[in-house]
Structure 1
Amino acid sequence: MTLQTRAGVRQLQTLPEQIAERILTSIAQGEYAPGDRIREESVAECFEVSRGPVREALRILEKDSVVCILPNRGAHVTQLSIKEVGDIFEIRRDLVGAMVRRFGRRSDDFLARIATEVGELERLARADDAGHAFLAVSHRIASLLAACSGNERLTQILASLARQTRRYAKLGLATAARRKESARTWRAMLEALEAGDADRAAAAIESLIDASRDEAIRQLQTQAIHSTTQGDTP
């Protein structure tokens, strides 16, 4: 499996970062469940690299609380947590909202790139089974916004938060209704940017993050209730 960079998105700077992104995508798509071990040798063979970059990639994901590396037991996918949802989505919401509020009028090229991605979201929102693709496009738009800030440190922080929230964002976009609502909100944000209204654009993206958080929490609560009920069944 080769590692490629999608046009229009900031190129990841190192091989370990690229591998970390691909591992995270696999986790978000359910190829690894919470508690599963991620074996260095299997990942290295998959990406046709040595185990060194894979080890570094797993350390990146450990820093972002996506995996936990245990002595003599390797890297394991962490459990999802309702408390963590509230904490990290709150931080991401505040940072992204503050960033967008500082935007001046954006270039036509930037707005055209965002418009292309929003159009793709709207197309995917009409499909019943496009959750993974919808999440990937949403992530690309968020990356474009962060890169446009011109603040490299902020871009790095937001990239870390995006990795931390990826699995929860998947839950937050689990239904077709939520994806349609999300696409409408992204469209509202784009229209605000096109009008040069940074405050309205920031309010739209804050609403987007809040809605994703609330749905992720609801999904986790439902899973917990289901798990408890199944456990009580003789």
Structure 2
Amino acid sequence: MKNPTTRLQTLPGADAKAPPTKSAGRQLMTLPEQIAEHIFTAIANGEYAPGDRIREEALAEQFEVSRGPVREALRILEKDAVVRILPNRGAHVTQLSIKEVDDIFEIRRTLSGAMIARLTVDEAAQLAAAMEADIRALDALALDPKGAAAYYEASFRLSRLLRESCGNERLAEILGALARQTLRYTQLGLATPARRKESARNWRTLQKAMKAGNLEAAAEAVEKLVDDSRREAVRQLEARQAGADPRGAAA
């Protein structure tokens, strides 16, 4: 386990991989929110494993702040179920069971479909145009055996764009929290080139449906996008639990 290695004041406000803590309309983050973003980025980068303890005193020293802002940052992450704060044991990175991963992805799938379905035809067409550059990037990255990290970042940008454009701040906040909870499992679900190619096709199908104003087909496409990641993540987790090699063909 590692601590974040760069001081707070020298880092940008939020890492590209990290879903925003607050709604899209808010640009400035408080000190605890900034610290929460950096802790989350460390978790996303594998510097903390599921179940690891996050020590307040080490982070306070690292960021050159008192323990108060760090404690508040951990409460922010607890709200999104990224960490769990246990009495007399401190904060620990959440360790989800396979069933919990499956259940959270199921919720994401349902809410993502509802998010697309509530768009107007004009809003969908505008979003489809805004998505084009990242969709093209996904098409190229899906063919690159070493493109996993860049693929996930482009995919996240698209997901964030959809959330921020849905017009329902509460729905966007809930989906952002769910994205945080399933971050490493989404990455796991996109770990193989076959899965990234499938994902890129799903994104292109979604964009075409939005451009054509077919919101029903678009909602189905985004649900499939989430569900495919769910199935692959669960498959790999089950294989690991059984002690098998998870590097099989994508579901």
- Indicate whether the TM-score tops 0.5: yes
C-alpha displacement of 1:181: 0.9
> Following the alignment from structure 1 to structure 2, what is the Cα–Cα distance between the partners of residues 157 and 195?
28
C-alpha displacement of 1:47: 4.6
Residue 199 of structure 2 is aligned to residue 182 of structure 1: yes
Per the alignment, residue 248 of structure 2 pairs with none
Q: Can you give the 5+ residue segments of structure 2 that lack an aligned partner in the other structure? A: 1-5, 245-251
The one-letter amino acid paired with 1:59 is R
Residue 68 of structure 2 is aligned to residue 52 of structure 1: yes
> Following the alignment from structure 2 to structure 1, what is the Cα–Cα distance between the partners of residues 210 and 36?
32
The one-letter amino acid paired with 2:107 is I
Q: Can you give the 5+ residue segments of structure 1 that lack an aligned partner in the other structure? A: 228-234
CA contact (8 A) 2:53 2:92 kept: yes
CA gap of 1:136–1:57, structure 2 versus 1, over 3 A, is farther
CA RMSD of aligned residues (A): 2.4
The one-letter amino acid paired with 1:138 is S
C-alpha displacement of 1:48: 5.2
> Following the alignment from structure 1 to structure 2, what is the Cα–Cα distance between the partners of residues 80 and 165?
9
- CA offsets 1:179-221 (integer angstroms, 9 cap, x no match): 1111111111111111111111111110011110000101110
Residue 113 of structure 2 is aligned to residue 97 of structure 1: yes
CA gap of 1:73–1:185, structure 2 versus 1, over 3 A, is same
Per the alignment, residue 70 of structure 1 pairs with 86
Q: Partner of 1:106: helix, strand, or coil?
A: helix
The one-letter amino acid paired with 1:57 is A
The one-letter amino acid paired with 2:208 is E
> Following the alignment from structure 2 to structure 1, what is the Cα–Cα distance between the partners of residues 123 and 230?
28
Per the alignment, residue 212 of structure 2 pairs with 195
C-alpha displacement of 1:135: 2.1
C-alpha displacement of 1:6: 7.7
Residue 154 of structure 2 is aligned to residue 137 of structure 1: yes
C-alpha displacement of 1:110: 3.5
How many aligned positions are there?
Answer: 226
Of 157-166 and 69-78, more deviation after overlay is shown by 69-78
Per the alignment, residue 3 of structure 1 pairs with 12
More helix as a share of residues: 1
Matching residue within 93, 97, 100 for 1:84? 100
Q: Partner of 1:212: helix, strand, or coil?
A: helix
The one-letter amino acid paired with 2:175 is L
Per the alignment, residue 139 of structure 2 pairs with 122
- TM-score computed with the length of structure 1 as normaliser: 0.85
Of 23-32 and 170-179, more deviation after overlay is shown by 23-32
- CA offsets 1:145-188 (integer angstroms, 9 cap, x no match): 11111111111111111111112111111111111111111111
CA contact (8 A) 1:106 1:194 kept: no
> Following the alignment from structure 2 to structure 1, what is the Cα–Cα distance between the partners of residues 38 and 149?
13
